[in-house]
């Protein structure tokens, strides 16, 4: 089959890791006889440098004209001036919102061979296998009013958390549906003891729970959930959280997987339905890691696993997705370790990790 993919590496280590995602995609093409037509676009800081803005009309068009977007990361110290008129991160927020990808699916899988690279005890990590669904196009990231202004009493800065019932329902539904295909447990995260948005969130979760009597629904306050993620992570199956809570909880959850560099994500504009692929955006959950950018040592696994999620959710290539995931597993089992997942010295560079995974996918 033939597919069109937009590739946007972005800034920092974004392009380096995305290159390996693309190489692994091309290996899938050779092994399974598919053609992937790639078009490359600049977004974030590199777009600010070239065009003065982080999200151009070209990128807007590309995100609509393709079957999926494979994304790296955006941002960096070069564009960090708090008084700057434009920031790279706005490009990411714009593309998410333009594509309407409200559900950000972040699986957290623990590979037993990496247990010694995590600061947590091996027995705490045993049996950890969860998916966090982060709401991606609402809440504090988008709602107005926001901004900073001078008042006679001093500077005031404000952000707004706002959710409609519909926004809450559609993302929770993604969680319930995913739970049905897994261990049928859903943890709905909120701060309903304090926040009005969270009280609505909890009410919607409770109402939806009646539609899914086969799924065991629990409500958890975000602070308690953060603690349990580290103390008893294997108790979680599917977690659903609003935008900011989900952002924070998944960086925390990456410690279970030994490194932020390991975790992939899929951002979708609808509930995933087997056999009905839809347009999506795929990005590792890590940032641009400016401290290691350009050194060839970043971990490309998050990008490669994001590409596998793209095969599954946007291209309907289930078998191919599983082949990529197996290739990652075998490669890790064989001892390939970038610096971030190594308890001793790194055994491979970014490109060598890519080589090993490409080799394991086959199709040379």
247 noted as active-site residue: yes
Contact between 114 and 343 under an 8 Å Cβ cutoff? The reply is no
Residue 75 binds which entry of Mn ion, ligand IPM, none, CB below 5-8 Å type-dependent: ligand IPM
**135 is a contact residue toward Mn ion (CB under 5 A):** no
Q: Shortest approach of Mn ion to residue 11 CB, angstroms?
A: 15
Rounded to a whole number of angstroms, the minimum distance from the CB of residue 302 to Mn ion is 12
Size of the site for ligand IPM (CB under 6 A): 6
Q: Which of 67, 109, 191, 237 is catalytic?
A: 191
From the candidates 42, 141, 190, 212, give the one annotated as an active-site residue.
Answer: 141
CB 330 within 8 A of CB 357: no
Q: Which of residues 239-298 bind Mn ion (CB under 5 A)?
A: 247
Q: Which of 247, 320, 325, 340 binds ligand IPM (CB under 6 A)?
A: 247
Query: Strands 280-282 and 266-268: what pairing?
Result: antiparallel
58 among known catalytic residues: no
Q: Give the residue at shortest CB distance from ligand IPM.
A: 89
DSSP 46-58: HHHHHHSSSS-HH
Q: Which residues contact 71 (CB under 8 A, 6 or more apart)?
A: 8, 10, 14, 18, 43, 92, 95, 281, 282, 283, 306
Nearest to 270 by CA among 152, 137, 146: 137
92 binds ligand IPM (CB under 6 A): yes
Q: What is the enclosing helix (H) or strand (E) of 253?
A: helix 243-253
Least distance from Mn ion to the Cβ atom of residue 168, Å: 21
Nearer to ligand IPM, 243 or 331 (CB): 243
Cα end-to-end span (Å), the chain: 18
Alpha-carbon distance of 39 to 22, in angstroms, equals 11
Annotate each residue in 220-249 with x if it binds Mn ion (CB under 5 A) or - if it does not, as one string.
---------------------------x--
By CB under 6 A, name the binding residues for ligand IPM.
75, 89, 92, 247, 285, 287
Query: Which positions are annotated as active-site residues?
Result: 141, 191, 223, 247, 251
């Amino acid at each position: 089959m033939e597919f069109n993919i937009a590739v946007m590496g972005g800034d920092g280590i974004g392009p380096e890791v995305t290159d390996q995602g693309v190489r692994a995609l091309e290996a899938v093409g050779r092994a399974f006889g598919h053609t992937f037509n790639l078009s490359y676009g600049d977004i974030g800081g590199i777009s600010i440098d070239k065009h003065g803005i982080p999200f151009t009309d070209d990128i807007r068009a590309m995100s609509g004209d393709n079957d999926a977007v494979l994304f790296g990361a955006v941002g960096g110290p070069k564009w960090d001036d708090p008084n700057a008129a434009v920031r790279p991160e706005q490009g990411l927020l714009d593309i998410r919102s333009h594509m309407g990808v409200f559900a950000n699916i972040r699986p957290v899988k623990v590979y037993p061979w990496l247990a010694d690279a995590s600061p947590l005890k091996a027995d705490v990590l045993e049996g950890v296998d969860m998916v966090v669904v982060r709401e991606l196009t609402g809440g504090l990231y988008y709602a107005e009013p926001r901004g900073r202004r001078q008042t006679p009493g001093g500077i005031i800065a404000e952000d707004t958390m706002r959710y409609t019932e519909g926004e809450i329902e559609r993302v929770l539904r993604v969680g319930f549906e995913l739970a049905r295909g897994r261990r049928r447990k859903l943890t709905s995260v909120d701060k309903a003891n304090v926040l009005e948005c969270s009280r609505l969130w909890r009410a919607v979760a409770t109402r939806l729970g009646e539609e899914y009597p086969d799924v065991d629904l629990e409500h958890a306050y975000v602070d308690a959930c953060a603690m349990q993620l580290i103390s008893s992570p294997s108790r979680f199956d599917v977690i659903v959280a609003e935008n900011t809570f989900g952002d924070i909880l998944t960086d925390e959850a990456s410690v279970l997987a030994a490194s932020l560099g390991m975790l992939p994500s899929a951002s979708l504009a609808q509930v995933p339905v087997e056999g009905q692929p839809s347009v999506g955006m795929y990005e590792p959950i890590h940032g641009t890691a400016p401290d290691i950018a350009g050194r060839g040592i970043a971990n490309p696994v998050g990008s490669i696993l994001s590409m596998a999620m793209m095969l599954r959710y946007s291209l309907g290539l289930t078998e191919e997705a599983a082949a990529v995931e197996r290739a990652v597993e075998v490669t890790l089992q064989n001892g390939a370790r970038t610096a971030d997942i190594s308890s001793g010295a790194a055994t491979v560079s970014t490109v060598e990790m890519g080589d090993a995974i490409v080799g394991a996918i086959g199709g040379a």
